[in-house]
Structure 1
Amino acid sequence: MIDPIFIAALLVLGVFSGVLAGMLGIGGGMILVPFLSFLLHKQGVPADHVVHASIATSLAIIVFTSISSMRAHHQAGAIRWDIVKFLTPGILIGGFVGSKIVSYLPTKELALSFGVFVIFSAYQMFADKKPKPSRTLPGAAGMVGMGSVIGGVSSIVGAGGGFLSVPFMVWSNVPVRNAVATSAALGFPIAVFASMGYIINGLHLEGMPSGSLGYIYLPAVACVAVMSVLTAPRGAKLAHSLPVARIKRVFAVLLTFVALSMIYKAITGF
């Protein structure tokens, strides 16, 4: 039987991840993975698989969150579908390949890699560097290549890709609100293909708790997704009314503490 406290913690996590996904276009994975690592380990996921399961479960949750967030941003007319069209083919390839690679990585190394990428993402958010006015998006080949990087890295760290796609688009002089909205749309193909990879590559696992599908722990997906789907549209509305740059800096500080905590757990043992 699943602990009611475990369920309550997942529901609260869903609220925060949904708001952040809608507001910052990050998919929520940067918040989900560290907390899921703690919660899933308490639920019986073996230490050798807990980070992999957290990443896979996070991506499965993002499938639902991204749909809700994408719908809200689309209604606001903020998504650049031309960018989505060119980045998606690369994202599909990178997402599936990344999920295959990560199945071979030990838990400690995977957790350390996650921490480093999160700190990098936090720095990008906090720095908020302004691009040269003349800089534009690359051509079709460059977009597909960048999509492969976004999809691959996102599937490895369990994020919706916003920590790479938003800085990339802003660096290419796409307005930040359009970048956030477009990132929300990109989160869907990233999450779908990466989740499929984690299911296929995790079917052989032993010792996973009841309710697991490959590396994905379905009860956690259900609890978090319900709340994140409900709150993501609220976050999307806030993105169009609040000072996003200031919010990103605050969130960058939070991400740094989360990443350092993850690195500490990796070094000392889960």
Structure 2
Amino acid sequence: MDQLIELVPTLLPMALWLVGAGVAAGIMAGLLGVGGGIVMVPVMATIFQLMGISPDILMHIAVATSLAVIVPTGISSARSHAKRGAVSRDLLVLWAPAMVVASFLGGLSAGFYSAFTLRIVFGVMAFFIAINSIVPLQKMLMGGLSNSPITHRVSATFIGYISSLMGIGGGSLSVPTMTVLGTPVHTAVGTSSALGVFIAFPAVIGFVISGWNVADLPALSVGYVSIPAMAMLAIGAILFAPVGAMIAHKLSATLLKRVLAVYLLIVGTRMIIQALFG
């Protein structure tokens, strides 16, 4: 008990950072249709590093825990969008099955990837998402593709797998993909919130399996998922996801997307530097 009391001054700031990251993630989930992992993964990676968790597994824990938080966040955000009629059942039927399989395989295979690989994947994709939010890069790459079921399913498979390795709900990739293929932006955002659950839940199962017998995991972990970190992040994320959804239907997100782009460029750069130079 005395040791726990002595740790409070150290653990309390970290807990507050996690709750704050959850608040930011929840608002972002509802506002931009992303799962919030873009915020949560870098914050957790930094906190776990400060806590002395092995650098070989801290990215795996950050990614898996972020995905675990996205499950309730995505449900909360999707319900808010569904009440406004912004979730397309037709798109869910096209996208969800491919995403479930791809994200589960992503979580399951994550144990074979090094922390270096996960950082590079996150950093490179953060750069792509940042540029794509300012310049219609994805539109230029996909503009010639037909709005066919196979195009949707291939896109869903790629996004599901990459998102599971990044610890994100996939909205930053699926929303622009859907809009390029002709979906109205509000419908794309709302549907993406629901699809985040179809990415996160099977990916979490994969991460639990792949991390089940890994050594040096922090206390109260289930596979690669840190239950204490998940709980602290979820407090803010679940409460504030509906707030973001409400704002999304009232305000233009252009300025916020540019701010997000700058943030992603910074985070992506930091991830790549850490991967290359430790």
Range of TM-score over shorter length: over 0.9
1:265 to 252, 274, 278: 274
Question: Tell me, what secondary structure is at the counterpart of 2:132?
Answer: helix
Q: Of the candidates 55, 71, 81, which is equivalent to residue 73 of structure 1?
A: 81
Cα offset, 1:12, TM superposition: 0.7
Alignment map for 1:230-269 (pairs within 5 Å): 230-269=239-278
| Per-residue deviation, 1:59 | 0.4
Matched, 1:189 2:170: no
- The answer for the alignment partner of 2:169 in structure 1 is 160
Query: TM-score, normalising length from structure 2?
Result: 0.91
| Counterpart-to-counterpart distance in 2, 1:146 and 1:61 | 24
Give the equivalent residue in structure 1 for 2:132: 124
The structure 1 residue matched to 2:217, chosen from 183, 208, 211, is 208
Q: Give every structure 1 segment of 4 or more consecutive aligned residues whose post-TM-superposition deviation is greater than 6 Å.
A: 134-137
What percentage of residue pairs aligned between the two structures are identical? 36
Name the counterpart of 2:66.
58
Structure 1 pair 30/125, CA: closer, same or farther in 2 (3 Å)?
Answer: same
SS in 2 for 1:241: coil
AA of the residue aligned to 2:32: L
Question: Hey, what's the Cα distance between the residues in 2 that align with 1:58 and 1:16?
Answer: 13
Deviations 1:44-99 (A, max 9, x none): 42110011111001100101110111111111111112101110010011001111
Task: Tell me which of 6, 29, 45 is aligned to 1:21.
Answer: 29
Distance 1:202 1:184, change over 3 A: same
Verify: 1:138 aligned to 2:168, yes or no. Answer: no
**CA shift at 1:136, angstroms?**
8.3
CA contact 1:57–1:217 (8 Å) conserved in 2: yes
Deviations 1:10-63 (A, max 9, x none): 111111111011100110011111111011222342110011111001100101
Q: Is the 8 A contact 2:131 2:137 kept in 1?
A: no
Which one of 225, 228, 232 corresponds to residue 237 of structure 2?
A: 228
Instruction: Report if the CA contact (8 A) 2:18-2:43 is conserved.
Output: no
Whether 1:100 and 2:114 are equivalent positions in the alignment is no
Whole-Å separation in 1 of the counterparts to 2:89 and 2:260: 27
* SS in structure 2 at match of 1:103: helix
Structure 1's unaligned 5+ residue stretches are none
CA distance in 2, matches of 1:40, 1:85: 38
